[in-house]
């Protein structure tokens, strides 16, 4: 009996409690978007047949109507698109969530963690990279990615990354046109080499990026649809 009442009551109470605790809660984006996120995420995890994903449902009008910032996340390995909304900010790190509870962390517009993708990026130390992007690239920086290995141990993988401007490109993000400088981050180090790409607008905001989660999980393509 108790179990059932708790099951029903928990989400309601939790919502209230979380609000009262002072977490910076984002109002839920409209249901259609979140449903698309869920479908895409399920498709991505099961590797099953493609279902309509966020990219097919999103439209300039839909994005414009959104009352909250929106992130389009494309899981490259599964070719699945899903949307995320901001959930909290703590000391400069933004947490984004999709409807099914998966999420990612961004700091200075750079991916510093993923949750629920399997073979997740646990944390990333990208302070030197953020500084290099602010200075317009053209330098080598250190990056430390941390992963939880199969034995619940945190493994720090150190990289040396060259950050280079690659020219300019015009992005069309569902109706918003952004002129961006493209930066390529080429990393070599203790793990397999990889390359990330960042599209940075004139205000220094990363509007689009292609960033590695882990060698097994592959990369995410992130677009900030609404700031």
Partner 1 sequence: MRATRTILAGLATAGLLAPMVHAQEIEPRRSVSSYGVPGLIDMPSAQMQPDGELVTSLYLLSNGAGRVQLSFQILPRVQGVFRYATLPDFQRVGNDFIRTYDRSFDVRFQLFKESGWVPDVTVGLQDFGGTSLYSGEYLVASKTFGPKVTGTVGIGWGRFGTQGSFTNPLAVLDDRFRDRPRFDVNSTGGDFSTDSWFRGDAALFAGVEYRPNARWTLKAEYSSDAYVQEEARGIFEHDSPLNFGVEYNPSPGIRLGGYLLGGTEIGFNIQLALNPKRPPAGGSGLEGAPLPVAIRPARETQPNLWSEAWVGVPQVEQPVVAGLDAVLAEAGLELISYRLTGDRVDIRFRNPRYSSQAQAIGRAARAMAATLPPSVETLVLTPENTRSLGSAAVILRRSDIEALENRPNGAAETLAVAGIVDSQTLPTDGRRYVDDAYPRLRWNVGPYIAYALFDPDNPLRADVGLSATAEWEPVRGLILGGEVRQKLIGNRDESNRQSNSVLPRVRTNGPEFLKTDDPYIPYLTAAYFFRPGRNLYARGSAGLLEEQFGGVSAELLWKPVASRLAIGVEASVVRQREFDGLFGFQDLDAETAFVSAYYDHGARFYSQLDVGQYLAGDRGATYTLTREFSNGWQVGAFATKTNVSAEEFGEGSFDKGFFLRIPTDWLLGRPTRETSAVVIRPVQRDGGARLNLRDRLYPLVRDQSPPVLTEQWGRFWR
CB–CB of 36/57 below 8 Å? Answer: yes
Which residue, 136 or 215, has its beta carbon nearer to partner 1?
215
Which residue, 68 or 90, has its beta carbon nearer to partner 1?
90
Which residue, 69 or 191, has its beta carbon nearer to partner 1?
191
CB–CB of 189/211 below 8 Å? Answer: no
Smallest gap from Cβ 7 to partner 1, in A, equals: 8
> Exposed, middle or buried by CB within 10 Å (0-12, 13-18, 19+), for 129?
buried
Which residue, 88 or 195, has its beta carbon nearer to partner 1?
88
Cα distance between the two ends of the chain: 45
CB–CB of 51/36 below 8 Å? Answer: no
Do strands 139-148 and 110-115 pair parallel, antiparallel, or not at all (unpaired)? unpaired
Smallest gap from Cβ 143 to partner 1, in A, equals: 10
* Sites of contact with partner 1 (CB under 8 A): 2, 6, 9-11, 13-14, 16-18, 20-24, 45, 87-88, 90-93, 95, 97, 100-103, 105, 107, 112-113, 115-120, 122-125, 144, 146-154, 156, 191-192, 214-217
């Amino acid at each position: 009996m108790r179990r059932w009442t708790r099951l029903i009551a928990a989400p309601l109470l939790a919502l209230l409690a979380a609000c009262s605790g002072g977490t910076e809660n984002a109002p839920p984006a409209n249901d259609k978007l979140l449903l698309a996120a869920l479908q895409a995420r399920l498709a991505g995890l099961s590797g099953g047949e493609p279902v309509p994903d966020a990219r097919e449902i999103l439209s300039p009008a839909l994005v414009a109507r959104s009352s909250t910032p929106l992130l389009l996340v494309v899981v490259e390995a599964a070719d699945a698109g899903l949307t995320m909304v901001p959930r909290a900010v703590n000391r400069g790190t933004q947490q984004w969530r999709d409807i099914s509870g998966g999420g990612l962390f961004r700091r200075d517009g750079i991916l510093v963690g993923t949750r629920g993708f399997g073979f997740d990026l646990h944390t990333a130390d990208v302070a030197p990279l953020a500084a290099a992007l602010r200075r317009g690239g053209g330098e080598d920086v250190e990056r430390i990615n941390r992963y939880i290995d199969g034995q619940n141990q945190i493994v720090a993988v150190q990289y040396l990354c060259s950050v280079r401007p690659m020219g300019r490109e015009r992005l069309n993000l569902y109706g918003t046109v952004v002129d961006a400088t493209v930066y390529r981050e080429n990393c070599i180090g203790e793990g397999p080499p990889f390359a990330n790409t960042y599209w940075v607008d004139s205000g220094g905001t990363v509007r689009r990026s292609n960033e590695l989660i882990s060698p097994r999980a592959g990369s995410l393509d992130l677009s900030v649809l609404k700031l």
